[in-house]
A and B are shown apart, each in its own frame.
Chain A
Amino acid sequence: MKHFEYLEPGTVDEACGLLKQYAGNARVFAGGSSLTILLKQGFLQPDALINIKKIDELRRIEESGEDLVIGSLVTHHDIEVSEVLARRLPVLCELEHDVANIRVRNMATVGGNIASGEPLTDLPCVFITLDATVRIANTSGGRTLALEEVFVDYYETQLQEDEVLTHVVIPPLPAHSAIDYVRFSSSSVVDKPCIGVAVRMTVDPDGGACREVRVGLGCVAPTPMRARNAEAALEGQPLNDDNLQKAARAAAEECDPMDDLRGSERYKREMVAALVRRLSSRVYDQARGGRS
C-alpha cells in the first residue's frame, strides 16, 4: 500500500475542510471494506484518508417527521437488524440477509455503498425506487440531490472533492402501495448480484390502476437506473398480461448490461424481462391486498 496520512475529524465540517485542503488527493474512509481493497491493489493512491467514523451523528437510523433518515455510517448489518426499518421498510432488512457475508455487512456502510459508485450492489436500486434523496455536506453549505442523480458512471459519482455524503432520506410510502426487490445471483450466493430489480407502485383502490410506478434496475448498467419506459407501460392502467409483457420488454431494452462472468448481455436482458414481469405482478397483488 502506498503510504498515506490518517486523519480523524470529529465533525462533518472538519472533514469537508480537510478534504478541500487535500484538493482531490484525500479519500473519505468510512467502513473501508471496498476502499482497503482498492488501496491494497494500488488502484487508489491517496495522500490521506479522512476517517469519518468518529462522527457519531452519521450512525443513526431515524424517523424524521414522515421521512426515514439513514446516516451514511449505518452498516449493512445495522439495516439488517433495524427495528425501525423492520416496521417501516422490511424490504431493506430482508435484502441485507443476502449481501456479501456477515464480515462485510458488519463493516461496509450505506454511505460507502453509494459513494464508491460500485455498480454491483443492492441498496441503491431499492433506494431510487423509493425516490430517496441524499444530503451532501461540503465547504459551501451543502446540497441535496436525488439519489439517482448521484451516479454518473462505473465507480463515478457527482460527489466533489470536498464533499461528504451524510444521509439518505426516504419519503414515506403512499397508502395502497407496495415495494419489493429481487436479488438474482447467477453464481455463488455470496457473489455480487448478477441483477437486482426493485418495483414499487400504488394501486388505485377504485378500478385498480397502477400509479406512481417505479422500476429500479441494478447491476445491468454503469449505474443503478430507473426503467422509465417500463414504468410508463404500467402507469395509469390496471395490470394485465399485455402491459406486463410490454413493461418487461421495455426494461430489457432500456438497460445496458455488460458481458461478464455472471452472464452474457443477452442472458441478462432476458433475466431482466423475467424478473420485472414476476416482480411487478407480485407487487401489484401486494398493493391491492392493502399491504403497504
Chain B
Amino acid sequence: MKKAITMEVNGASCRVEVEPWRTLLDVVREELDLTGAKLGCDIQVCGACTLLVDGKPVSACSVLAVDADGRKVTTVEGLAEGDRLHPLQESFMKFGALQCGYCTSGFLLTAKAMLDENPHPDDEQIKSYMGGSFCRCGCYQEIMQALRSVARS
C-alpha cells in the first residue's frame, strides 16, 4: 500500500515510502526529523504547519505527502545557509519577534515566500499576505517590525 515518492527537501533529493493517507507535515516531521513545522489547528487556519512547496506556502497538515511527489519542499531548517542565518531569522531575533516560538517557523517561511514574490512590500501588503498566520503569544508588533526591517533593506 506504500507509495515511493521523491521530493527535493531543502535542496537535497529525498526518497521515502509513505502510505497515501499520511500528511506532508507528518512525513517531514516523523520520517525526515525536520520538526520546525508544528501541528496547530489542523484545518489550515493558523499557519503553524506552513511549508513551502515549489516556493509557495501551504498548510502541510492538509497536504497529502504523496501529493508532494516530484516537488521542492522548503522547511525552516532550509532557510539558513550553513551557519549563516537567513536575514528574516536575524531580524526576528533582533526585534524579539517571538515568545514561545511555536508559530515562528510558519511566519518565517510565509514571509520568505512573500519577499520572493515582492521584495519590498509596504505595511498593508505585509498584513494582507501574512494575515493567515496566527501568533497566540501576540507578538504581532514585533513581527511587523522584523518584517518591515527586511522589506526595507
Contacts and interface: CB of A to CB of B under 8 A. Distances in A.
B82 interface: no
Contact of B132 (A1, A5, A100): A100
B63 A189 contact: no
B4 interface: no
Given A102-B110, A190-B131, A6 B47 contact: no
Interface in A1-44: 1-6, 29, 32-33, 36-37, 39-40
Chain A: interface secondary structure? mixed
A6 B132 contact: no
Name the residue among A5, A77, A101, A106 with the largest chain B CB count within 10 angstroms: A101
A77 B56 contact: yes
Chain B, interface residues (CB within 8 Å), range: 20 to 34
A32 B62 contact: yes
A9 to B, nearest CB: 14
Contacts of A5: 20
B132 A103 contact: yes
B67 interface: yes
A102 B57 contact: yes
A49 interface: yes
Give chain B's interface secondary structure class: mixed
A107 interface: yes
Interface in B54-72: 56-59, 62-64, 66-67
A36 B45 contact: no
B52 to A, nearest CB: 10
Given A6-B3, A101-B132, A102-B110, A37 B43 contact: yes
Contacts of B62: 32-33, 36-37, 40, 107
A51 interface: yes
Given A100-B132, A101-B132, A107 B1 contact: no
Interface string A234-260: 000000000000000000000000000
Of A1, A33, A107, the most chain B CB neighbours within 10 A belong to A107
A97 interface: yes
Nearest to B50: A103
Contact of B44 (A1, A3, A6, A33): A33
A264 B3 CA distance: 48
Interface in B114-147: 114, 128-129, 131-133
A189 B20 contact: no
B105 interface: no
Contacts of B67: 29, 32, 51, 53
Given A32-B62, A53-B67, A190-B132, A104 B21 contact: no
Nearest to A97: B128
Contacts of A37: 42-44, 62
Interface of A: 1-6, 29, 32-33, 36-37, 39-40, 49, 51, 53, 77, 97, 100-104, 106-107, 189-190
| 9 closest Cβ pairs, A-B complex | A101-B132, A6-B20, A1-B21, A36-B62, A106-B56, A103-B59, A103-B57, A103-B58, A190-B132
Interface of B: 1, 3, 19-21, 23, 42-45, 47, 50, 56-59, 62-64, 66-67, 110, 113-114, 128-129, 131-133
